A and B are shown apart, each in its own frame.
Chain A
Amino acid sequence: GESVGLHLPTLSVQEGDNSIINCAYSNSASDYFIWYKQESGKGPQFIIDIRSNMDKRQGQRVTVLLNKTVKHLSLQIAATQPGDSAVYFCAENNYGQNFVFGPGTRLSVLP
Chain B
Amino acid sequence: DAGVIQSPRHEVTEMGQEVTLRCKPISGHDYLFWYRQTMMRGLELLIYFNNNVPIDDSGMPEDRFSAKMPNASFSTLKIQPSEPRDSAVYFCASSLGQTYNEQFFGPGTRLTVL
Contact = CB atoms under 8 A, between A and B. Distances in A.
A21 to B, nearest CB: 15
How many A residues touch the partner, as a band?
20 to 34
A59 interface: no
B104 interface: yes
With a 10 A CB-CB cut-off, give which of B48, B84, B99 has the most chain A CB atoms. B99
A70 interface: no
A104 B99 contact: no
Contacts, number: 56
Contacts of A43: 4, 91, 93, 105-108
Contacts of B33: 98
A101 B42 contact: yes
A45 B87 contact: no
Interface of A: 1-2, 4-6, 32, 34, 36, 41-46, 49, 51, 89, 93, 95-96, 98-99, 101-104
Interface of B: 4, 33, 38-43, 45, 48, 56, 84, 87, 91, 93, 98-100, 102-108
Given A43-B93, A43-B105, A93-B100, 12 more contacts: A2-B39, A5-B39, A34-B102, A43-B4, A43-B108, A44-B43, A95-B99, A98-B56, A98-B98, A101-B43, A103-B42, A104-B42
